Amino acid sequence: IQSMKEHNAGENLIDNNKPVSTSTTAKPLAGIKFKAYPLDESGNKIKHSDAIIQKYRTDYASRSSAATGEKLTSTSVNTIMSRFKKDGAGYIYYDMGVATDTTGTLTISSLFQGKWSIEEVADTTKVASTALPTVIELPITNVSNQSEWLYRAHIYPKNEDIHIVKDIQHLGNNHHTADIYEPFSWIVTTDVPDDIYKCSKTLHDSDNTKISWAGYSQFTIIDDLDMNIKYKGTTKVCVVTGSTSDTTVGTEKNLTYGTDYTIAVTDGKGTQNSKITWSITESGRQKLSPVLLKQKGVKLRIYFESVIRNTIGESVLGKPLKNKAKLEFTNSSGVKGTRESDIPEVHTTGIKIYKL
């Protein structure tokens, strides 16, 4: 969670809208950047133009400094205006110029009165999904005193990362021993981000202001099996709800092969690994959507079978064969990212035993 203290630099600040305590499981994120989009009365973003820049410049030139009470200098106005930029779609936004600090806090200043959409800048090296846009209208009413306006607000955008886990035989297990050609199971489980599927909805705390996201365009699990392990088939791919930890099964509902997901297999031979790719289609991403399911903690889980090849070398016998899975995705912001699982092991016996 990042907490951002917003205020209007042209007004006196009323510092009694205090930060709130957040979940004990929440972790502050440093290095996260945000943009602030001014919105019109209908809650829509505003196109960048010379006319709107001049309007804002004139407005800021008439304002007073919150710190000194004196008119903003031309230098101050120029500094503020240099932060108004145009995004790829042609909309105007205010660039904060800094990122959250080690406490996850970012102070946004110089926002004028009116509606703003605070939006996180995508960076999949830190988190898989950006926080959903936070719409705020300045000033806001003090909930403790309805006749009082507040010019400082604390908002708490929440974003999420994706955790992927690989187990063997059963959830929570990372070690297994098998004879040659004795079947055993792998289980890959990954979190599902709230914005995996496209959505547009009206905010409950605003008139007709809407938030929307494009949804993920790619959500793919890849497993490169050790060259001594042969893939034998996928048992099931399912949506999981009600799972409170990596070791709880929850309620599983199967997705449909060919409709909700596809499988591509490269069967490795000799010194090559077998590569299995499960690609979740748009239909599958829709069925996984936590928003549409109205569930928190939704997961994707894949079960598949394998055996140890009978061509395994004598030098490998008795040693662990390690494997991990990988998630590749393109998030709602169109930014690509990857996440890797832990590394479970299957152990062989010290002699070649063929189970037929």
Residue 6: which pLDDT band, with cuts at 50, 70 and 90? very low
Overall residue count recorded for the chain in this entry: 356
- pTM for the whole thing? 0.65
pLDDT for the residue 10: 31
pLDDT for the residue 211: 61
Q: Which two tokens stand for residue 50?
A: 């010379």
Mean pLDDT, to the nearest integer, of 112-132?
80
DSSP secondary structure string for all residues of 273-321: PEEEEEEE-HHHHHHH-HHHHT-SS-EEEEEEEEEE-TT--GGGTTSEE
CB neighbourhood size of 278 (10 A): 24
Helix (H, G, I), strand (E, B) or coil at 261: strand
Cis link prior to 344 (omega < 30° from 0)? no
Tokens 């008139």 sit on residue:
207
pLDDT for the residue 20: 39
The phi, psi pair for 338, rounded to 5°, reads: -135, 155
Q: Which two tokens stand for residue 327?
A: 């998630």
Mean pLDDT, to the nearest integer, of 109-121?
83
Q: Which two tokens stand for residue 226?
A: 């050790």
Q: Which two tokens stand for residue 24?
A: 């004990």
CA distance 144 to 277: 55
Q: What is the mean pLDDT of the chain?
A: 81
Say if CB 122 and CB 130 are below 8 A apart.
yes
Residue 342: which pLDDT band, with cuts at 50, 70 and 90? very high
Mean pLDDT, to the nearest integer, of 69-87?
87
For residue range 193-232, list pLDDT tens digits in order. 888 998 876 544 444 445 677 889 999 999 999 888 889 9
pLDDT for the residue 43: 80
Residue 113: which pLDDT band, with cuts at 50, 70 and 90? confident
Q: Which two tokens stand for residue 116?
A: 């703003």
Residue 315: which pLDDT band, with cuts at 50, 70 and 90? low
Side-chain-side CA neighbours of residue 299 (13 Å) = 25
Long-range contacts of 160-163 (CB under 8 A, 24+ apart): 160/127, 160/128, 160/129, 160/191, 160/193, 160/194, 161/126, 161/127, 161/128, 161/129, 161/191, 161/339, 162/128, 162/129, 162/190, 162/191, 162/193, 162/327, 162/329, 162/339, 163/190, 163/191, 163/246, 163/339
CA distance 353 to 181: 9
* Between 215 and 25, the higher pLDDT residue: 215
* Between 283 and 43, the higher pLDDT residue: 283
Say if CB 105 and CB 4 are below 8 A apart.
yes
One-letter amino acid identity for 341? S
**Helix 50-61 vs helix 74-81: crossing angle, to nearest 10:** 140
